Amino acid sequence: MNIEQFYPLFLQSEKVTIDSRKIGKNDIFFAFSGENFNAATLAEKAIENGALAVIVEQEDFENKDNNIFYVPSTLDFLQELAIHHRNQLQIPIIGLTGSNGKTTTKEIIHAVLSEKFNVQYTFGNLNNHIGVPLTILSIKPEHEMAVIEMGANHQKEIELLCTISLPDYGYITNFGKAHLEGFGGFEGVIKGKSELYDYLKKNQKTIIVNENDPIQVEKTENYIPKITFGKNNSDYQFELFSEGNFVGLKYKEVKAVSKLTGEYNFTNLCAAASLGLHFGINFEKIKHAIENYTPTNMRSQVVKKEGKTLVLDTYNANPSSMTASLHNFITFEGSKTIIIGDMLELGEESEKEHQNILKLAQELGFNEIITVGKNFKSVNFSSESFENTAELIEYLKLNKIQSENILLKGSRGVALEKSIDFI
Ligand code: ATP
Ligand code: MG
């Protein structure tokens, strides 16, 4: 089965899915074998559920249904189909990567560009070698643009995702201390993320540059085309301000206040606003988009609970985002408790990084510091150091947190959000 032959069938389909629970009529199902499922069983079930076609690797079952297609590798076929589809699309694609803030930036860019265009974008955090092709395949004729989040935890991953999404514009949110293990230290992070720049440069595509970031500046020096923000002589100039706990940006005397907390979100907003202005959206509309975007995804989210202010940042954590988050939270008015969870995937640097964060938290002077996870436990000898979220919950059942403000931040694996109901 080759891609050109299969493509017309794809064009008739409703959507492409790899999740057997989400198969609807006229969908194309890619059967990846999981731990609990056998791809062949899933394939038969998919056809029963009305799937238009099923792609499967195994050939060891009886079903000779015309709509089941055997391929040597389901993953390769998915990626190749996405590349083929991308090549037919005549729309600009904006590719995003970086250590922190990809999803947030993607969501704000989507909100801004949607003021004028019909924009497709990465759903949730589907940013890997499967998520990116799925997003590309979800682009329909009515879409005028797309924003694609590209995640990576090792070298050559972004390079691959670029060959699938062929971005026309690219932005690296930042270079931070995330996935140090897989990338081989901070230098490795810079190299790995810069694969986006390598692609854009090779193909003469536009780079969006935060001129306050020395690494971005250095990596894009003398390169055109680019769109810049951050400095007085940048293409677009924004001023940072905050209103209460929320961050805002000012453009030519017009203020837009977001519903995001954390100064680090300022650059995320600037990138989105720059793209908006570049695509001819006036700032009043950009303001409208920024003011109406409400994070609901445990990223820089502020919620009120029984008179207390909770900052939920439990989606992920690494030393750079943790540092930024603590510096932001210390500016909140009133008493403050932090509940911080382990930062995972740090490799050799792990112990030192956890120590550094604990020290920073102590220096900043929060009223109460609670840590969750084995890594913190090995460096935090206080009584408020718990091995996991379940232990934290047991503690919270007996001890009410007194502070007016509470920050929850930790890696995905720690799942600190499970404790919210007990606060
Ligand atoms: P993932 O690798 O899980 O996909 P991501 O890069 O998509 O992460 P987000 O989910 O948008 O990042 O944000 C995660 C957290 O990173 C935020 O809640 C915030 O604490 C922090 N963060 C967001 N933007 C920035 C930024 N520009 N610089 C530093 N930290 C940031
Ligand atoms: Mg993300």
ipTM computed for the complex:
0.98
Provide the residue ranges of all domains of the chain, joining segments of one domain with +.
3-77, 89-292, 301-422
Q: Which residues contact 245 (CB under 8 A, 6 or more apart)?
A: 261, 302, 309, 311, 331, 332
Band (36; pLDDT cuts 50, 70, 90):
low
DSSP 193-216: HTHHHHHHHHTT-EEEEETT-HHH
Q: Give the integer Cα–Cα distance in Å for 45 and 362.
A: 56
Would you state the structure tokens that stand for residue 229, as one six-digit string? 């923000």
pLDDT confidence of residue 300: 83
Amino acid at residue number 205: K
Instruction: Determine the CATH number of domain 3-77.
Output: 3.40.1390.10
Cα-Cα end-to-end distance for the chain: 56
Residue 416 DSSP class: G
Residue nearest to atom 12 of ligand 1 (CA): 101
Residue 397 assigned to a binding site? no
Instruction: Tell me which H or E stretch contains 372.
Output: strand 368-372
pLDDT confidence of residue 62: 52
Q: What is the rounded radius of gyration, in angstroms, for the C-alpha atoms of the chain? A: 23
Residue 60 DSSP class: -
Residue 58 has pLDDT above 70, yes or no: no
* Atom nearest to 179 CA in ligand 1: 2
Band (64; pLDDT cuts 50, 70, 90):
low
Whether 392 and 339 have beta carbons less than 8 Å apart is answered as yes
Q: Give the integer Cα–Cα distance in Å for 317 and 34.
A: 28
The label of the residue with tokens 């993607």 reads 106
The torsion angles phi and psi of 313, rounded to 5 degrees, stand at -135, 50
Q: Give the integer Cα–Cα distance in Å for 336 and 279.
A: 42
Q: Give the fold, CATH level 3, of 301-422.
A: Protein-Tyrosine Phosphatase; Chain A (3.90.190)
93-97 sheet: strands from edge to edge: 119-121, 145-149, 93-97, 169-172, 206-210, 226-229
- CATH number 3.40.1190.10 given to 89-292: yes
3-state class (DSSP) for residue 346: coil
What would the pLDDT profile of 70-98 be if each residue is shown by its tens digit? 898 999 999 999 999 999 999 999 999 99
Mean pLDDT, rounded, for 262-266 = 92
- Ion ligand 2 neighbours, Cβ < 5 Å: 102-103, 125
Q: Give the integer Cα–Cα distance in Å for 7 and 410.
A: 43
Q: Give the integer Cα–Cα distance in Å for 117 and 105.
A: 17
Ligand 2 geometric centre to CA of 121 (Å): 12
Ligand 2 geometric centre to CA of 421 (Å): 25
Mean pLDDT, rounded, for 181-194 = 94
What would the pLDDT profile of 323-372 be if each residue is shown by its tens digit? 999 999 999 999 999 999 999 999 999 999 999 999 999 999 999 999 99
Would you state the structure tokens that stand for residue 135, as one six-digit string? 């997003």
Among the bound ligands, the one closest to the CA of 247: 1
